[in-house]
Every structure is written in structure tokens, then in C-alpha cells.
Amino acid sequence: MIETPPYDFVVVGTGAGGLVGAIAAKLNGLNPLIIEKASVWGGTSALSGGGVWIPANPLMQRDGVADSIEDGLAYLDATVGDVGPASSRERRLAYLHNGPRMVLNLEEQGFAWRRAPRYPDYYPWLPGARIGRTIEGETFDGNRLGAWLKTLRSSGLPAVAINTDAAPQIPTAFRSLRSLFSTLGVVTKTLAFRLTGRVPLAVGRTLVGQLMAIVQRLGIPVRLDTPLRSLIEENGRIVGVVVGEGERILAPRGVLLCAGGFAKDAEYRMPLQGVTGEWSPASPDDTGDAHKIGAAFGADLALMDAATWFPVSIYPDGTINPGIWERTLPGSIIVDSSGQRYTNEAASYVDAGLAMFERDRVTPAIPSWLVFDSRYRNRYFFGSTPPGVTKAFVESGFFIQAATLEELAGKCDIDPDGLKRTVERVNVMAATGVDEDFGRGNNVYDHYYGDPTNRKNPSFGPIDKAPFFAVRQYPGDLSTKGGLMADEYARVLRPDGSVIEGLYAAGNCAAPVMGRTYPGAGATLGPSMVFAWIAARHSAGAN
Ligand SMILES: Cc1cc2nc3c(=O)[nH]c(=O)nc-3n(C[C@H](O)[C@H](O)[C@H](O)COP(=O)(O)OP(=O)(O)OC[C@H]3O[C@@H](n4cnc5c(N)ncnc54)[C@H](O)[C@@H]3O)c2cc1C
């Protein structure tokens, strides 16, 4: 075994949380090391939409949008409810107080933020809700990362200068001038980057890209291909890590675990959640290592049944499409095998995913079917596929197409009478624009990914123009939520509530302050970054 010279503080993982934790450690006088098990960096954070949900953030203040810690707390209380100490009052307040501070701190280090002023909280009718709490990184030139650009984790999709508020305009680009101009803005900005030799990193990739640029400027060492294997404990305190083939790295000021969730460890996940993770677009390295290692050192685990559920479709090449607008735009519904709707399809993804599991307990609903008509297909993008482009999807079997609803039901093994009755009822309700069954489109969140030109209800409309289509829907997830119990300083706790000195956890390896729900866009990246920031400052004695 080789002993390497000690750092003060070891951060495990190069997602948004890990990078922020290392930056905060360095800025507060520690000498951190970041270790990453993969040969690429950025984790699921790099694959994400990059939205960060921070109530009362400084960008809102600058834009004159009223918000407060009190309203943030009221909203968290109303949405998360009582899920035990993972989301104690102390943790909620720690998140709310430190979120804006972290945003400013990163800004001082050169991080360029922008706000998504139109994105509503996911439960806009609850006390304390707001529109526009989500922030994200400005499009960033990847070349500024130098050699680190090559090892940035990628989904394989082309780099496009998109941003959160522009995304919902894309599917309706041919429906309204506003959507068209917004989408052309994305195209123009992307071209402007490309034609000047710059690489447009946006959403999750600008988030981790800008953070990595700060990490590099501060001279923080990052070791790829360095998996955490175990911890070093001395007199009940964690004082280092064991990595790779047994290399020991000492870290007298502690270890911050930011190693993500367990979406992709089928064996670990199946007994806890009843799914393998095959429908999750999370990073393949999201295998619960920190959960297992932390538990072996006496940590408590909580909310291990929870995930950021997200209905997905699977493209013929196996790519997972966590489609949000597909089920939100008018002219589509989701039905189970009996042909019945069972939820508001435009609800937040966690609720839509949970509804699929709940329905499946009474009627087979995995997969469910997204059913839509030709009007829908000819109006809107499906994922990144333009309206009307249908043939290849039908030929590959991804879209099931039929001239009548009865024929469609037969092809999908859906009860034909059930489907016919459901669609008839939807068409009657669509004439008034009121979904009396599930309230689809009765709040501003449902409209965010809707079609504003569908005036009676931007997210609800008739299905009556043949041919008809169906696409399988699975209850996927953006990653798991449950993890190591931690306190308001992100210190990992034992089942008796005592602190494991020297061990911190943030992000999807920590039990979530958001509980089983998802209050707004950015409700996992936000806590990952904020609690990592808190942890590092606590270790440095700065809190
Ligand atoms: C398509 C998509 C869109 C999303 N959009 C959003 C969004 O807009 N807003 C939002 O809040 N959330 C979003 N999410 C969810 C969000 O990306 C994750 O919840 C978040 O990235 C988790 O951050 P983390 O720091 O916990 O983990 P990660 O970002 O996954 O980082 C963990 C890192 O630890 C590394 N690691 C794992 N095990 C070890 C080990 N043993 N040793 C060393 N390193 C290890 C991993 O390789 C990884 O690099 C999205 C997810 C997806 C898939």
C-alpha cells in the first residue's frame, strides 16, 4: 500500500456538488483534492438540464421579483411535508439561507448565471410558490476548459446554445412568432459560437464547465479514474479515503461524498425500488458507491424508495427520451392497458411517474401509452424530431400508427372500447377546454410546456384527426433521491442521530431535503451544490 501526502479535504465526485464543494473548500483556506471514478468528469450533472432552484436568489432581486426565505420555507413545508430528519426545519433553512450566498460566491469567482424568468414552481397554487426561481449557467465556451473539454461527460447530443426558458418554445416553433423567434435565437447563438471557433456548452454542461474552469483557476487537483473504495477512520473520525487498488489518501479535515445516486446499480436498486434503472438517463456511474461505503461506516440511510421519477420513451436506438412537452401539449393523452387516463399528464414529472406506478397496482400501466393524433404530430416537435417527420418512427416501430382508434388499440393491446370511450370524453371536454377528470391545464405550470395558441387550454385538446399514434411510456427517473442521512451542515449521521465526524454528504448520495417531491426546476442540483458548499465551509470552520 502506498501512502500519498495528505490533502486537507477530499471531495468524491465531479458533478456540480463535488466541484462546488472543492471550490468552497479552497476559498476557505483548505487544500482539497477531487477524486472521480470515471475517466470522464461531470457526472449526471453534465447530462442534465442544468437548472438550479434557489428561492430568493440574487438574480430575482436584481430583476425586482419579490421573494423571501419565509416564502421559500412556506413552499417547502407545503410541498415536501413531513418526511423526517432528511428534510428537517434546520436543513430547509440551511438550504434557503445559503443558496443565495452560494450563488453570489460563485459569481464572484466568475460564474455567469442567467435566470429562467418564466419557469413556474411545480405547485404554483401552494403557499409561497413563485415563477422564476430557477437559474442556470450562461452558454460557455468549452475551449476555455483547455484539455479538460475532452473529458467532459457527454450525452452524445450536439452542443447547442439552448437555455431553460427557450426549451419549451422549440416544440411550438411553427405555431407562434414568439416560439419561432426564440428558437431562431437558439440557432443563431449556436452558429455565432460555432463560426467563431467556440464550443457552446449549455444547460448541464455549462454548469459543470464553468465550475471546472474555476476549479482549474484555483489550482485544485482533480484525479479521474480514481474510484473511492473505502474510508479511513481513526478514533471514530473519518480522516481519509482508500481509492483504486488500495491507495490511501489522508484528509484530516474530512471527506465530502458527492458521488451521485444509485440509478444504475440494478442489483442494489431492485429490492429498494422495484426497477433496474434501465429507463434512467442518469450517468452509468450512478451506482450508489457512497451509499454502500457510508453505510459500512455506520451511516443511516433514508428515503431509499424515492427517485426523481420521469416518464420516458425509448428511441429505437435505445436512447432514453425524458420527454416533457410530448405529454403536455394538446392533442395527447396517456392511457393504461384498459385505455383509461389515470392522471394529469401535464403534472410535474415526479408526480406523473409516481402515478404510473400507482396505476400499475390496479391495472397494467407499465408501459403506458402516449396517444396522439395527426394534428398533434403535424404541429409539434417530438423530442428533437420536427413536426410531420413520422415515417422513420413508424417504420422502426417507435410510433404505432393506425387509421382508427380501434385499430390502434388492437396494435397496442389496449382495450379498444376503453380507449374509444376515453378519447370521446376527452374530445367533449376539449371543446370547453376544461379537463374535468384530472384538471390538466388548470395551472400555470401545466402551460409552461404547452401551446399558447391553443387558447382554451394550452395543454389540453381534442384527439380526432386520423391517423392516430401511440408511443410506449415507462416510469424512468433522472436518478435516485434517497441516501446518507445528514444534518444542516451536511455532516453524515448514524441511526441514533450522532455525527460521524469528518464525513459529509451532498447531492443524490445524501437523503434529500426535498423529500420525495420536486418543488421546482433545479430541485436536485440546487441542494447538491448548496449542501456541498455548506459542508466545505463547515470543514474549514467558516460557518
Ligand atoms: C436528462 C436529465 C436532466 C436533468 N435536469 C436537471 C435539472 O435541470 N435540474 C436539476 O436539479 N436536476 C436535473 N437532473 C438531475 C440531476 O442531474 C442530478 O440529480 C444531479 O446531477 C446529481 O448531482 P450529484 O452531484 O449528486 O451527482 P453527479 O452529478 O452524478 O456526480 C457524481 C459523480 O460522482 C462520481 N462517482 C460515483 N461513484 C464514485 C466513486 N466511488 N468514486 C469517485 N467518484 C464517484 C460519478 O462518476 C459522478 O461523476 C437531470 C438529470 C437528467 C438525467
- pTM tops 0.85, yes or no: yes
Q: Report the distance separating Cα 192 and Cα 190, nearest Å.
A: 5
Average pLDDT of the residues in 313-328: 95
- Residue from 45, 256, 279 whose mutation best tests the ligand 1 pocket (most atoms within 8 A of CB): 45
Residue 233 has pLDDT above 60, yes or no: yes
Q: Name the residue type at position 130.
A: R
Average pLDDT of the residues in 106-130: 98
pLDDT digits (tens, 9 = 90+) for 32-56: 999 999 999 999 999 999 999 999 9
pLDDT at site 347: 98
Q: Report the distance separating Cα 271 and Cα 274, nearest Å.
A: 6
Ligand 1 neighbour 265 (Cβ under 6 A)? no
Residue 161 has pLDDT above 80, yes or no: yes
| pLDDT-derived band at 6, boundaries 50, 70, 90 | confident
| pLDDT-derived band at 4, boundaries 50, 70, 90 | low
Residue closest by Cα to atom 14 of ligand 1:
48
Ligand 1 neighbour 510 (Cβ under 6 A)? no
**Beta strands 237-243 and 247-250: pairing type?**
antiparallel
Mean pLDDT of the chain: 97
Find the angle CA(80)-CA(477)-CA(59) to the nearest 5 degrees.
55
Residue 286 CA to ligand 1 centre (angstroms): 7
pLDDT at site 83: 98
How many whole angstroms from its chain centre is CA 161?
19
**Beta strands 32-35 and 3-4: pairing type?**
unpaired
Residue closest by Cα to atom 21 of ligand 1:
45
Average pLDDT of the residues in 484-503: 98
Residue 285 CA to ligand 1 centre (angstroms): 9
pLDDT at site 366: 98
Ligand 1 neighbour 517 (Cβ under 6 A)? no
**E strand intervals along 94-227:** 113-115, 134-137, 140-141, 200-201, 222-223
Q: Which residues have a Cβ under 8 Å from the Cβ of 39 and sit 6 or more positions away?
A: 151, 224, 225
Q: Report the distance separating Cα 59 and Cα 104, nearest Å.
A: 9
pLDDT digits (tens, 9 = 90+) for 122-139: 999 999 999 999 999 999
Element (H, E) at 473: strand 468-480
Q: Report the distance separating Cα 426 and Cα 351, nearest Å.
A: 21
Do residues 96 and 112 lie in contact, with contact meaning Cβ atoms separated by under 8 Å? no
pLDDT digits (tens, 9 = 90+) for 356-387: 999 999 999 999 999 999 999 999 999 989 99
For the chain, the farthest-separated pair of C-alpha atoms sits apart, in whole angstroms, at: 73
Residue 3 has pLDDT above 60, yes or no: no
pLDDT digits (tens, 9 = 90+) for 277-286: 999 999 999 9
Percent of the chain with pLDDT over 90: 97
| Closest atom of ligand 1 relative to the 243 alpha carbon | 42
| Closest atom of ligand 1 relative to the 525 alpha carbon | 11
Instruction: Give the orientation angle of helix 16-27 with respect to helix 203-217, to 10 degrees.
Output: 30
Residue closest by Cα to atom 38 of ligand 1:
259
Torsion of CA 390, 395, 399, 400, to 10 degrees: 120
Residue 260 CA to ligand 1 centre (angstroms): 5
